Amino acid sequence: MPFTFKVGAKIKEAWPLYKENFGNIILFVIVLAIIQTISSVLSGKDGNAFVSLVFFIINTFFLYLGIKANLNLLDSKGFHPFSREVLPTWPLFWNFFKTYLLLILCILPIIIIPMFIVIAISILPSLLLGVVFLPYLIPVIAILIIPGMYIASRLFPSIYMSIDKGQGAVMSIKGAWEITKGYGWYIFWKTFVIGLFAVVGIFALFIGIVVTYPIAMIVIVMLYRELVKSSVVGPTPVATVVNPVVPEVVETPKEEVK
């Protein structure tokens, strides 16, 4: 049976979960907003690389908390991102950090290198002839980054798998590639729709920050869980009929009565 995932139906499923855990979700969103604000202010000063690295690690830690809390939410444990059960041990966080870093390294070169080449080609004529060709190359850039977006769609379950199964980076990347095999473009479209749902909410009076964004994150975890479930169940095996073996009865000759 082919894998299917209806975003609209999953948003409806996520809504009651969001309402039941509204307080904890809003608290987590507020903490994230404060961290992002501090990060933007401090990183903006003189482009401090060390500060940027520190906040990258902090953001990765809170990403772990958010994913783990959402996984627990789907397991009927509630959304408690700051509970002892959600806080990772060092080995678990290290596995997640390596997986997240490897995921970035798998995606970014595929997106950035084509963009860099196209922009470099567009800048050279502008320097020589005083003509800027960049606006005309925007569709080309968009086309060139599609492979990177496809790879991102195939590998996005890796960070969820790292937390859910406690796996290392390489195993999580391989596992993500395996469970999304044959559904790359389908998942790409579904993640695009989920992202659009979150972004549209942000532009609609900023309600996305406290409503559509958290719901979208729940739906993404639902997508991951459905992919795992689909890969575990697999196709229904066809029953085979085996002819029963009937043991051969060997008659022994009766003793002749004298």
Structure confidence by residue, pLDDT tens digits, 179-190: 999 999 999 999
Rg (CA), the chain: 27
Give Cβ neighbours of residue 243 (< 8 Å, ≥ 6 apart): none
40 vs 30, 52, 62, CA distance in Å?
Answer: 15, 9, 16
Q: Where are the alpha helices (DSSP H) in the chain?
A: 7-20, 22-44, 49-74, 90-129, 134-144, 146-155, 157-165, 169-179, 184-203, 212-233
Q: Is the pLDDT of residue 200 over 80?
A: yes
> Token pair of 189, please?
């479209």
Q: Strand, coil or helix: what is 191?
A: helix
Q: Tell me the pLDDT tens digit for each residue of 206-216.
A: 677 789 999 99
pLDDT of residue 17: 97
**Does the pLDDT at position 117 exceed 90?**
no
The burial class, CB within 10 Å (0-12 / 13-18 / 19+), for 143 is exposed
Which of the residue ranges 60-69, 102-111, 112-121 would you say has the lowest mean pLDDT? 112-121
Asked whether residue 258 carries a pLDDT value surpassing 50, the answer given is no
Instruction: Choose the weakest-confidence range: 5-9, 230-234, 238-242.
Output: 238-242
CA-closest candidate to residue 225, choices 67, 92, 109, 91: 67
Distance CA 121, CA 131 (A): 12
Encode pLDDT of 49-100 as tens digits. Answer: 788 889 999 999 999 999 999 999 999 999 999 999 999 999 999 999 999 9
Per-residue pLDDT tens for 159-177?
999 999 999 999 999 999 9
Greatest mean pLDDT among 10-19, 27-36, 47-56, 112-121 lies in 10-19
Q: What is the pLDDT of residue 8?
A: 94
